[in-house]
Structure 1
Amino acid sequence: MYPPIEPFKTGFLKVSDIHNLYYELVGNPQGTPVIFLHGGPGGGCDPKDRCFFNPEKYKIILLDQRGAGKSTPIASLEENTTWDLVKDCEKLREHLEVDKWHVFGGSWGSTLSLAYAQSHPDRVKSLVLRGIFTLRKSELRFFYQEGTSMLFPEAWDDFIAPIPQAERKDMLLAYHAQLNSADEETCAKAAKAWTRWEMWTSKLHVDAAQVAMAENDKFALAFSRIENHYFINEGWMRDGQLLEKQSIDKIRHIPCIIVQGRYDVVCPATTAYDLKKVWPESTLHIVPDAGHSSREPGIAKLLVSATDKFSDF
Structure 2
Amino acid sequence: MFDLERYRIILFDQRGCGRSTPHASDLATDISLNTTEHLLRDMEQLRAQLGVERWLSFGGSWGSALSVACAERHPERVSEMLPAFWLMGRAEVDWSAWEDAVLSLEPHGKPAPFSDRASDDLLAFARICAHYAANNGWLEDGALLRNAGRLAGIPAVIMHGRLDLSCPYDAAWQFAQAWPNAELVAFDDAGHKGSPAMHDHVRSTVARFSVL
Q: TM-score, normalised on structure 2?
A: 0.91
User: AA paired with 1:263?
Assistant: L
Asked whether the equivalents of residues 187 and 197 of structure 2 are also in contact (C-alpha less than 8 Å), the reply is: yes
Superposed CA offset, 1:124-182 (max 9, x none): 0011111x11111111222327xx7xxxxxxxxxxxxxxxxxxxxxxxxxxxxxxxxxx
Output the CA distance in 2 between the equivalents of 1:215 and 1:129. Answer: 25
* RMSD (Å), alpha carbons: 1.8
Tell me what 1:158 maps to: none
Secondary structure in structure 2 of the residue aligned to 1:129 = strand
Asked whether the equivalents of residues 93 and 136 of structure 2 are also in contact (C-alpha less than 8 Å), the reply is: no
Tell me what 1:134 maps to: 87
The structure that has the greater radius of gyration is 1
Asked whether the equivalents of residues 105 and 129 of structure 1 are also in contact (C-alpha less than 8 Å), the reply is: yes
Asked whether the equivalents of residues 103 and 165 of structure 2 are also in contact (C-alpha less than 8 Å), the reply is: no
Which of 231, 238, 262 matches 2:133? Answer: 231
Output the CA distance in 1 between the equivalents of 2:51 and 2:17. Answer: 24
Tell me what 1:302 maps to: 201
What pairs up with 1:31-110 in 2 under 5 angstroms?
Answer: 52-75=1-24, 76=29, 77-110=31-64
Output the CA distance in 1 between the equivalents of 2:117 and 2:180. Answer: 42
- Over 3 Å counting, the alpha-carbon distance change for 1:237 and 1:63 in structure 2 is same
Output the CA distance in 2 between the equivalents of 1:282 and 1:288. Answer: 19
Tell me what 1:214 maps to: 116
Secondary structure in structure 2 of the residue aligned to 1:293 = coil
Give, in angstroms, the shift of residue 301 of structure 1. 1.3
User: AA paired with 1:60?
Assistant: I
Asked whether the equivalents of residues 204 and 264 of structure 1 are also in contact (C-alpha less than 8 Å), the reply is: no
Tell me whether 1:242 sits opposite 2:144 in the alignment: yes
- Over 3 Å counting, the alpha-carbon distance change for 1:215 and 1:88 in structure 2 is closer
Tell me what 2:151 maps to: 251
Asked whether the equivalents of residues 199 and 214 of structure 1 are also in contact (C-alpha less than 8 Å), the reply is: no
Output the CA distance in 2 between the equivalents of 1:213 and 1:140. Answer: 18
Asked whether the equivalents of residues 264 and 292 of structure 1 are also in contact (C-alpha less than 8 Å), the reply is: yes
Output the CA distance in 2 between the equivalents of 1:198 and 1:271. Answer: 18
Aligned residues: 207
Tell me what 1:200 maps to: 104
Q: TM-score, normalised on structure 1?
A: 0.62
Give, in angstroms, the shift of residue 198 of structure 1. 6.9
Give, in angstroms, the shift of residue 300 of structure 1. 1.1
Q: Which has the higher contact order (CA 8 A, sep 6+)?
A: 2
Secondary structure in structure 1 of the residue aligned to 2:82 = strand
Output the CA distance in 2 between the equivalents of 1:235 and 1:94. Answer: 24
- Over 3 Å counting, the alpha-carbon distance change for 1:73 and 1:198 in structure 2 is farther
Output the CA distance in 1 between the equivalents of 2:16 and 2:160. Answer: 27
Give, in angstroms, the shift of residue 253 of structure 1. 1.0
Structure 1 regions of 5+ residues with no counterpart? 1-51, 149-195
Output the CA distance in 2 between the equivalents of 1:58 and 1:242. Answer: 28
Output the CA distance in 1 between the equivalents of 2:102 and 2:158. Answer: 21
Tell me what 1:144 maps to: 97
Output the CA distance in 2 between the equivalents of 1:198 and 1:79. Answer: 31
Tell me whether 1:311 sits opposite 2:210 in the alignment: yes
Structure 2 regions of 5+ residues with no counterpart? none
Output the CA distance in 2 between the equivalents of 1:271 and 1:243. Answer: 9
Secondary structure in structure 1 of the residue aligned to 2:150 = coil
- Over 3 Å counting, the alpha-carbon distance change for 1:213 and 1:53 in structure 2 is farther
